Amino acid sequence: MKERNAILLLLLTSFIWGLSFVAQSVSTESIGAFTFNGIRMILGAIVLIPFAAKTLKVHIKDKVYMKKMLKGGFLMGLFLGAASMTQQIGIETTDAGKAAFITSLYMIIVPFISRIFGKKIEKKIWFCAMIALIGMYMLCLSGGMSIGRGDIFLVLCAILFSCHILVIEKVSKDSDGVELSLFQFLFGGIMCSIGMLVFERPDFQSIKEASLPLAYAGFLSCGVAYTLQTVAQKYVQATKATLALSLESVWAAIGGALILSERLSVNEIIGCALVFLAVLLAQLDVHLPNTSSQSD
The predicted-structure confidence for 224-236, as pLDDT tens digits, reads as follows 998 898 889 888 8
User: Would you state the pLDDT for residue 187?
Assistant: 95
> Does the pLDDT value for residue 140 go beyond 70?
no
> Does the pLDDT value for residue 252 go beyond 50?
yes
User: Would you state the pLDDT for residue 141?
Assistant: 61
**pLDDT band of 97, cuts 50, 70, 90:** low
pLDDT tens, position by position, 151-186: 788 889 989 999 999 999 888 887 888 899 999 999
- Give the percent of the chain with pLDDT over 90: 19
> Taking the model in full, what pTM does it have?
0.77
**C-alpha closest to that of 282 among 159, 109, 111:** 111
What residue type is 147 in one-letter code? I
Contact assessment for residue 263 and residue 45, using Cβ atoms and an 8 Å cutoff: no
Residue 71 vs residues 42, 47, 127: alpha-carbon distances, Å:
18, 21, 35
Q: State the burial class of residue 265 (Cβ atoms within 10 Å of its Cβ: 0-12, 13-18, 19+).
A: exposed
**C-alpha closest to that of 137 among 176, 104, 114, 112:** 104
User: Would you state the pLDDT for residue 39?
Assistant: 93
User: Would you state the pLDDT for residue 14?
Assistant: 86
CA distance 252 to 22: 7
CA distance 283 to 296: 25
pLDDT tens, position by position, 279-293: 777 666 544 444 444
Report the chain's mean pLDDT, rounded to a whole number.
81
